[in-house]
Amino acid sequence: MRRHLTALAVAAAVLTTGMPSALAAEAPTRPFKGWSSPAPDSYGPPVGCPAGPNWTWRYSQNGTAWFSHLGRVTVEMTHCTAGQEGWFDHGTTTLTAADGDELWMTYSGTFQLDAEINPTRSDVVLSWTITGGTGRFAGATGGGTGTALGILSGWDSETSGTWSGTIRYGAT
């Protein structure tokens, strides 16, 4: 009887001290970072962009990158750009690992072109949110910030970037 009371007292103490649940212990928030190799950018009409601002073009890029928790990946990104205003939104990114697992993100941000200082450079700042994925990334959440550098030559350009933030795996 005394053991049962001791076990009950310990259980009550654990429940009232705010210790994390077993589920939270299984899915801790972890650092998440990555970088992308320079890859050619594509620009086209703002097809698929929502009604609203004067979208100038639709940006897309397919390339390779390295991300913690995934290793070397292929990257597919696209967003709607308000070019004259220097910002973009409605961005989607799919990172595909070698085993086929995908991690999905949304993003938005700003870019700065300075024709007087360096007309061939675009500095980009963005924020991103993990929205899920497949395989080990099903139900994943997280987010963070990133920077990118675009090297421009007329409508030919290539961009590389870095991402830093957190990831929390979904419940299994």
For 65-76, the pLDDT digits (tens) are 999 989 999 999
pLDDT of residue 30: 94
Which of 105, 99, 96 is closest to 75 using CA atoms?
96
pTM: 0.80
Give CA angle at 95 (93, 97), nearest 5°.
Answer: 175
Are residues 71 and 97 in contact, defined by beta-carbon separation less than 8 angstroms? yes
Which residues, other chains included, contact 47 with Cβ-Cβ below 8 Å and sequence gap of 6+?
Answer: 58
Q: Enumerate the β-bridge partners of residue 124.
A: 111, 148
Domains of the chain: 29-168 (2.40.350)
Confidence label for 136 from pLDDT (cuts 50, 70 and 90): very high
**Section 162-167 average pLDDT:** 96
**Section 95-114 average pLDDT:** 94
Q: Enumerate the β-bridge partners of residue 147.
A: 125, 162
Q: Enumerate the β-bridge partners of residue 40.
A: 158
**Section 144-171 average pLDDT:** 89
